[in-house]
Amino acid sequence: MNNWWENAVIYQIYPRSFQDSNQDGIGDLRGIINRLDYLATLGIDAIWISPIYPSPMVDNGYDISDYKDIDPIFGTLADFKELLAKAHKLNIKIIMDLVLNHCSTEHEWFQDILKNPDSPYKDYFIIKEGKNGGAPNNWRSNFGGSAWERINDSNKFYLHVFSKEQADLNWENPNLRRELYEMIHWWINLGVDGFRIDAINFIKKNQDFPNLSPDGPDGLADPQSNWLNAEGIGDFLQELKVEGFENGKIFTVAEANNVRPDQIEDFIGENGYFTCIFDFSYTDMDIKAGDWFRPVRISPMKLKNNIFSSQENINGHGLAAPYLENHDQNRSPNKFLETKDINFQSKSSLALMYFFLQGVPFIYQGQELGMTNYPWASIEQFNDVSTYDQFARALSFGLDEDEAFKRVSKRSRDNARIPMLWSKALNAGFSEVEPWLPVHPDYKKINVESEIKQTNSLLNFYRKMIEIRKNSAGFFTKAKFKGIKTHDENLIAYKRQDEDKEYLVLVNLQDKTSSFDLLNQEEYIEILNNYNFYSNEATEHKVPDLKNIKPFESILLKKKEI
């Protein structure tokens, strides 16, 4: 294997909610340092830490006001260096979150243009003259409302894809691009091992900035391909790879949605822009067009079709980054399962389903414990710009307050952002004071301390899966994916194959028995089964009984080597 990521499992930390060390109710770097042993016990290879740079925290750190420092809420640069050194000692790599599409309006570049009409930074942002007393066009921001904000009392407006406190950077400007590359090197020189790159396929905008036909009651329109994977983005991404990431020697995982099948080779192929890209094909299928209040029912069959087509598109072109959860999603059991079905069996089936897919798998903090959505009681409990925007949008589409609240609560990003559950202690061991978001009431049952001790816990199931992947010498990262047609269309079955080995994954993500016809069944041995993974019997490689696959049973099989 040439590169560490070819056999890696990556764990995402949302630093505000991982571990508080100085008792202010907010997680911090020392908290992560104190929990490194836990991460080592899990067996993961790297951690991706959501943004820890100085920020006014309008979007919890995705609004950076200084790219080369640490926000005092999280600690200091010295703490960060200590984290790097201690993590590296444990063979854990550190992946920084890189937000290159926009910065905070509190950043000195933006502050300077507010004060100084001849600011050297005015071409660092996308600034246009207003039209007819209003914005330059009717593009809608991803966080609601116009994507343009007036500068002081002038007729000039700046563009923001996300909130108005996140001003988009003007990638057309080579000076801006050079500053960003220099900043990336600054972190590489400090010793970071890779980057998760935020919203990267928004960096190119259609320079005609056309007005569009309105698509909602607000008279605005989603600009779609005018700013998402827009024509010409490849030139920027190629330069970023060469100048920023040492021509691809540095690990990168891109948050790049809507990459079309014909673009995959360019993005992650042999000479692609990134090491891997997150797979959005199934994590957003429970909602229509990004609207949290427009739910879509997911059957196991639909889920399987989405996963299969995305994995098949990537086959032979590079690496995916499969994930079930992150800080922008609700908890996966609530997303993919009916409430009555949420239990160990169904959660471990979801886990097994995605964990052996092609690519570098990511686990989001608390996912390994089986954390579920928080039982929100009122809209005031949330601390997320996007949740408030989605609530307002739901009301504008005619939903009453109760219904809007119910739907938005189910999908809110804060479901993933509540504190990590460490123990049965006060505030689940996250902090001694009241945390910035509430603690899940299930914490007495679902927590690290209890699950570590319990042999048949989800946490130990994850440890087992990680161990299997780690012992595969990179097989699961790279081997070919092949979806299998089944007579029970809700049974999820796929193969992973290379020249010498073959594994088979069977996932029955439904509350009824299923079966699978495998003619040469005796040629397979069972490696992992979520009904008995903790007993030695299962690991002694028995021949499976596939005529009778139990409700929510999932199995990893291996073809005997001849």
Would you name the residues annotated as active-site residues?
198, 255
* Closest to 429 measured CA to CA, from 17, 11, 12, 14: 17
* Closest to 157 measured CA to CA, from 132, 128, 134: 128
CB of 424 to Ca ion, least distance (A): 21
- Give dist(CA 490, CA 150) in Å, integer: 52
User: Does the footprint of ligand NOJ cover residue 99 (CB under 6 A)?
Assistant: yes
Instruction: Say if CB 129 and CB 88 are below 8 A apart.
Output: no
Q: Choose the one of ligand NOJ, Ca ion, none that binds residue 46, judging by a C-beta under 5 to 8 angstroms depending on kind.
A: none
What x/- string results for residues 199 through 238 when contact with ligand NOJ is judged by CB under 6 A? x---------------------------------------
- Give dist(CA 126, CA 143) in Å, integer: 18
Q: Choose the one of ligand NOJ, Ca ion, none that binds residue 26, judging by a C-beta under 5 to 8 angstroms depending on kind.
A: Ca ion
For residue 452, which amino acid is it? I
CB of 162 to ligand NOJ, least distance (A): 4
User: Does the footprint of Ca ion cover residue 537 (CB under 5 A)?
Assistant: no
User: In this structure, what are the phi and psi dihedrals at residue 279, rounded to the nearest 5 degrees?
Assistant: -100, 110
- Give dist(CA 553, CA 532) in Å, integer: 10
CB of 56 to Ca ion, least distance (A): 17
Nearest residue to Ca ion on Cβ basis: 28
CB of 217 to ligand NOJ, least distance (A): 24
User: Does the footprint of ligand NOJ cover residue 159 (CB under 6 A)?
Assistant: no
Binding to ligand NOJ (CB under 6 A) within 58-87 occurs at: 59, 62
CB of 463 to ligand NOJ, least distance (A): 27
User: In this structure, what are the phi and psi dihedrals at residue 194, rounded to the nearest 5 degrees?
Assistant: 175, 180
Binding to ligand NOJ (CB under 6 A) within 288-327 occurs at: 327
Give the three-state DSSP class for 287.
Answer: strand
Helices and strands (H and E) in the chain: how many: 17, 20
CB of 111 to ligand NOJ, least distance (A): 19
Who's near 62: CB < 8 A, 6+ residues apart? Answer: 50, 51, 55, 97, 99, 162, 166, 198
For residue 388, which amino acid is it? Y
Q: Choose the one of ligand NOJ, Ca ion, none that binds residue 62, judging by a C-beta under 5 to 8 angstroms depending on kind.
A: ligand NOJ
Q: Choose the one of Ca ion, ligand NOJ, none that binds residue 59, judging by a C-beta under 5 to 8 angstroms depending on kind.
A: ligand NOJ
Q: Choose the one of ligand NOJ, Ca ion, none that binds residue 24, judging by a C-beta under 5 to 8 angstroms depending on kind.
A: Ca ion
Choose between 17 and 348: whose C-beta lies nearer to Ca ion. 17
Q: Choose the one of ligand NOJ, Ca ion, none that binds residue 99, judging by a C-beta under 5 to 8 angstroms depending on kind.
A: ligand NOJ
User: Does the footprint of ligand NOJ cover residue 168 (CB under 6 A)?
Assistant: no
Residue 533 vs residues 155, 342, 352, 455, 461: alpha-carbon distances, Å: 65, 19, 12, 9, 7
- Give dist(CA 445, CA 421) in Å, integer: 10
- Give dist(CA 538, CA 550) in Å, integer: 16
CB of 163 to ligand NOJ, least distance (A): 8
Choose between 364 and 443: whose C-beta lies nearer to ligand NOJ. 364
Neighbours of 534 (CB within 10 A): 16
CB of 265 to ligand NOJ, least distance (A): 24
Binding to Ca ion (CB under 5 A) within 10-39 occurs at: 20, 22, 24, 26, 28
Q: How many CA atoms are closer than 13 Å to the CA of 369, on its beta-carbon side?
A: 26
Q: Choose the one of Ca ion, ligand NOJ, none that binds residue 20, judging by a C-beta under 5 to 8 angstroms depending on kind.
A: Ca ion
Strand order in the sheet with 156-159: 127-129, 156-159, 148-150
User: Does the footprint of ligand NOJ cover residue 162 (CB under 6 A)?
Assistant: yes
* Number of residues located near ligand NOJ, criterion CB under 6 A: 9
- Give dist(CA 380, CA 461) in Å, integer: 36
Residue 556 vs residues 352, 423, 445: alpha-carbon distances, Å: 8, 31, 27
Q: Choose the one of ligand NOJ, Ca ion, none that binds residue 328, judging by a C-beta under 5 to 8 angstroms depending on kind.
A: ligand NOJ
Choose between 101 and 263: whose C-beta lies nearer to ligand NOJ. 101
Who's near 288: CB < 8 A, 6+ residues apart? Answer: 294, 295, 296
- Strand duo 480-483 + 491-497: pairing: antiparallel
Choose between 145 and 191: whose C-beta lies nearer to ligand NOJ. 145
User: Does the footprint of Ca ion cover residue 79 (CB under 5 A)?
Assistant: no
Query: Which residues contact Ca ion by CB under 5 A?
Result: 20, 22, 24, 26, 28
Query: Which residues contact ligand NOJ by CB under 6 A?
Result: 59, 62, 99, 162, 198-199, 255, 327-328
